[in-house]
Amino acid sequence: KQEVTQIPAALSVPEGENLVLNCSFTDSAIYNLQWFRQDPGKGLTSLLLIQSSQREQTSGRLNASLDKSSGRSTLYIAASQPGDSATYLCAVRRLNTNAGKSTFGDGTTLTVKP
């Protein structure tokens, strides 16, 4: 059974700081890994999708890496801003014939202080 862990559960940083969020998973037979952002009481916004054959993806100030062999992914946020405050979730999709369900971590809640 795939288990996804995100550490730390909460993180508070001053504005402008670069930071790294961690995601680890127990089963390396994954199809892809997706990072999401969730604001309080809202749905999930897709940030980055990394296919199993890729090592990293970049979008603006965000960079996500994937190391399947060690079961780890990181989300790097450069020059953090108060608007980045949210919960960040990672989700892995298992490699199987249907490639359906995603397994989520419980997220890291980020607070960026002005």
**CA-based nearest residue to 73, from 87, 84, 85, 57:** 57
Q: Which stretch binds another protein (CB under 8 A): 14-22, 62-70, 74-82, 104-112?
A: 104-112
Q: Tell me: does residue 76 bind another protein (CB under 8 A).
A: no
Rounded to the nearest angstrom, the gap between the alpha carbon of residue 66 and the centroid of all alpha carbons in its chain is: 10
Annotate each residue in 13-52 with x if it binds another protein (CB under 8 A) or - if it does not, as one string. ------------------xx-x-x----xxxxxx--x-x-
Question: Whose structure tokens read 């603006």?
Answer: 60
Q: Tell me: does residue 71 bind another protein (CB under 8 A).
A: no
Q: What does each C-alpha distance from 36 to 23, 45, 69 come to in angstroms?
A: 12, 5, 22
Least distance to another protein, CB of residue 15, Å: 26
Least distance to another protein, CB of residue 21, Å: 14
Please report, as ranges, the residues that interact with another protein according to CB under 8 A. 4, 31-32, 34, 36, 41-46, 49, 51, 89, 91, 93, 98-107
